[in-house]
Amino acid sequence: MIIKATTKVYGIFGHPVNHSLSPQMHNAAFQALRLDCIYLAFDIHPKDFEIAARAIKSMGISGVNITIPHKESIIFFLDEISPEANITGAVNTVKNVDGKLIGYNTDVSGFLRAIKEDLGFHPKGLSATVVGAGGAARAVLTSLCMNEAYQVYVINRTLDKAKRLASEFKKGFKDTFIQAVSLDDKDEIKNILGKTNLLVNATSAGMKGVDSVEIPLEYLQKEAVIYDLVYDPRETNLLKTAKELGHKASGGLSMLLYQGVESFEIWTGKDAPIGVMKKALE
């Protein structure tokens, strides 16, 4: 591609960011649609984040994705934030509209689309169990509650974190039953797995070099489906076991794809070339 004075700049702000697959995915999409746009990765140390966040306006950057550890700190620098980003308390996509910065959280819609496409699952009226209580779990919980899940159990290694998350979401979503459970409470876990339609791993356990969380999948109902947010490796031990037991199960690459698809569509107002973006990721 030819970089010109008119080329619109997009990017990702994170620390570290050298592992990010978003530049490949978005540049492939820009090229496929012949858009005069480029997407770059910016490794921004937390101490420099304020300068970088203010530079979105001063340097006329058209849009950015925000990743760890800046998803919460960016909110202070925005002019407007969407409802799902407000509920999640985190922003992963910023659009610069003539100097006004609007924040979104496309992890929320990306997750919903991934479970629909991969597992044929919609949360409405059903029961879900989320393992993890960090940033990704917050996005998953927002997605489940906004889409009228009947009950959601939040299992976490650090029970206090799960309790805080559950109590915060209970205030906003009175129609969904939400309960925190300790990862050590094996009896309670067996009990809730029997009532679960969707099991989600939203911990970083299972990533390359880290063991998957030990969840006794044999207590799940036959029809229960499993989604693991981890995408490196493509198939975690959790997914492997779930498939061996006959469950429909899928890994986090599709969520990564669909959060990118949604960001692209927010920025450009055009239908994203999903096939091209998927190929770039794979």
Ligand X SMILES: NC(=O)c1ccc[n+]([C@@H]2O[C@H](COP(=O)([O-])OP(=O)(O)OC[C@H]3O[C@@H](n4cnc5c(N)ncnc54)[C@H](OP(=O)(O)O)[C@@H]3O)[C@@H](O)[C@H]2O)c1
Catalytic residues: 71
- What are the CA-CA distances from residue 240 to residues 23, 111, 131, 249 (Å)? 29, 20, 17, 8
Distance of closest approach, residue 141 Cβ to ligand X, in angstroms: 11
CB of 225 to ligand X, least distance (A): 16
Please state, in angstroms and rounded to a whole number, the distance separating the CA atoms of residues 107 and 3.
Answer: 30
Verify binding: residue 65, ligand X, rule CB under 6 A: no
Report how far apart the first and last C-alpha atoms of the chain are (Å, whole number).
22
Q: Are 113 and 139 in contact (CB under 8 A)?
A: no
Residue in this structure with the two tokens 């107002």, named with its chain if needed: 269
Lookup: tokens for 44: 């921004």
Is 273 a residue that touches ligand X (CB under 6 A)? no
Q: Is 74 in the site for ligand X (CB under 6 A)?
A: no
Task: Give the per-residue contact string, 176-205, with ligand X (x = CB under 6 A; - = no).
Answer: --------------------------xxxx
Considering the complex, state which of residue 6 and residue 18 has its C-beta at the smaller distance from ligand X: 18
Minimum distance, C-beta of residue 206 to ligand X, in the bound complex (Å): 7
Q: Determine if 229 is a binding residue for ligand X (CB under 6 A).
A: yes
| Least distance from ligand X to the Cβ atom of residue 34, Å | 27
Q: Does 227 bind ligand X (CB under 6 A)?
A: no
15: left (phi over 0), alpha (psi -120 to 50) or beta: beta
Give the E-state strand segments of the chain in sequence order.
8-14, 37-43, 63-66, 80-81, 93-97, 100-104, 127-131, 151-156, 177-182, 198-201, 225-228, 249-251
Residue 63 CA to residue 262 CA, distance in Å, equals 13
Least distance from ligand X to the Cβ atom of residue 69, Å: 9
Query: Does residue 213 touch ligand X according to CB under 6 A?
Result: yes
Q: Answer yes or no whether residue 252 interacts with ligand X by CB under 6 A.
A: yes
Q: Is 161 in the site for ligand X (CB under 6 A)?
A: yes
For ligand X, which stretch binds (CB under 6 A), given 168-176, 215-223, 225-233, 242-250? 225-233
- The first and second tokens of residue 183, run together, are 């990862």
Q: In whole angstroms, give the CA distance from residue 225 to residue 222.
A: 9
Binder to ligand X among 41, 81, 94, 133 (CB under 6 A)?
A: 133
How far apart are the C-alpha atoms of 108 and 140, rounded to whole Å?
A: 6
Q: Is residue 84 part of the contact set for ligand X (CB under 6 A)?
A: no
Q: Which residue has the tokens 């569509």?
A: 265
Residue of 7, 35, 40, 134 that binds ligand X (CB under 6 A): 134
- Residue with Cβ nearer ligand X (6 or 14): 14
Question: Whole-number minimum distance, CB 261 to ligand X, in Å?
Answer: 11
Please state, as a whole number, how many other Cβ atoms lie within 10 Å of the Cβ of residue 246: 9
Q: Which of 255, 261, 272, 280 lies at the binding interface for ligand X (CB under 6 A)?
A: 255
Asked if 242 is part of the footprint of ligand X (rule: CB under 6 A), the reply reads no
66 contacts ligand X (rule: CB under 6 A): no
Residues binding ligand X (CB under 6 A): 68, 107, 132-137, 156-158, 161, 202-205, 207, 210, 213, 229-231, 252, 255-256, 259
